[in-house]
Amino acid sequence: MLNTLGNIETEVLVRGNYNTSLAFVTETMLDNWIQQAHRLAASYRKWPFTEKRDKSANTSDASEEHAYPTDFKTDSIRILTVGGKRLRKTNFDDYLRHKEDYSNGTDRIFADFERVYFINPNMDISGTIVAYGQYLVDELDTSVPATTTVFSNSEEEGNEAMVQEILSYAKTRENKLTEAKNHHDNAIKILDRIWERVTGEGFGYHPKGEGMWERIDIVEGDYHNELFKRDQF
């Protein structure tokens, strides 16, 4: 089982035949490698388990500019709602152009620049701002062996990727560059495999054109798709 930092550290030492009592691989060095491997693996993709919702802001002050949630990655807000109503995200250049061309426009739009997001202050809605994005993964507490990673209890295979990446650091230190590259490539393959599995689950999502979003023929009183079936004649 590779669920905790203690498990990961033990696995690295066993596979590499290392001993932290020797100067070649120290505890401090191993802790640093664990942090590096975790940062790489956690930021490799926009993992579902690093998504977060923040509703700490509101539009009561009619402000156009709002600071990014402190624990959000830059430019990671994908969905923004105000008072329960969704806003359309535009790029910053289009947002500024819209302000110039339609100074009194009430379009429900937002954009971000650096670590600030901008909401059209002329919108016809107000209330609590809810941001959905990707959060910054905290540093691991390597002093506690029971500490878990972002992959623990959900995608434990990601911890195996961490083991492979840490071994690549160790092999680089040994100047065994071919082995180091092999371990790094193995880590990336594992992370890609997890991502393929995650994105593969998307088949279960109903596209906008189906179900509750299907067009209804108000004359015939049925879904548009049902009125024109293939080979019905």
Query: According to the model, what pLDDT value does residue 205 have?
Result: 58
Query: According to the model, what pLDDT value does residue 203 have?
Result: 56
- What DSSP line would sit under the chain, residue for residue? ---BHHHHHHHHHHHHT--TTSSSS-HHHHHHHHHHHHHHHHHSS--GGGEEEEEEEESTT--SEEEPPTTBPTT---EEEETTEEPEE--HHHHHHHHHH-TT----EEEEETTEEEE-TT-S--SEEEEEEEBPPPPP-TT-TT-B-SSTTT-THHHHHHHHHHHHHHHHHTT-HHHHHHHHHHHHHHHHHHHHHHHHGGGGSPPTTSGGGS-EETTTTEEHHHHS-TT--
The yes-or-no verdict on residue 12 having pLDDT over 70 is yes
Range of the structural domain that residue 28 is part of: 5-47+150-202
Same-domain check for residues 125 and 185: no
Same-domain check for residues 97 and 158: no
> Which residues contact residue 219 at a Cβ distance below 8 angstroms, ignoring those fewer than 6 apart?
none
Q: Are the C-beta atoms of residues 50 and 134 closer than 8 Å to each other?
A: yes
Tell me whether residue 35 is in a domain: yes
Same-domain check for residues 28 and 86: no
Half-sphere exposure of 65 (CA within 13 A, CB side): 7
- Does the pTM surpass 0.75? The reply is yes
Domain tally, the chain: 2
- The Cα–Cα gap between 107 and 14 comes to 60
- The Cα–Cα gap between 70 and 38 comes to 20
Residue 115 φ/ψ, nearest 5 degrees: -115, 40
Both structure tokens of 75:
């430019």
Same-domain check for residues 63 and 121: yes
Same-domain check for residues 36 and 58: no
The yes-or-no verdict on residue 7 having pLDDT over 90 is yes
Report pLDDT digits (tens) over 46-96: 999 999 999 988 887 668 999 999 999 999 999 999 999 999 999 999 999
- The Cα–Cα gap between 228 and 220 comes to 11
Query: According to the model, what pLDDT value does residue 19 have?
Result: 87
Same-domain check for residues 41 and 55: no
Q: Are the C-beta atoms of residues 20 and 27 closer than 8 Å to each other?
A: yes
Tell me whether residue 11 is in a domain: yes
Same-domain check for residues 22 and 71: no
Report pLDDT digits (tens) over 170-217: 999 999 999 999 999 999 999 999 999 999 876 555 555 544 444 444
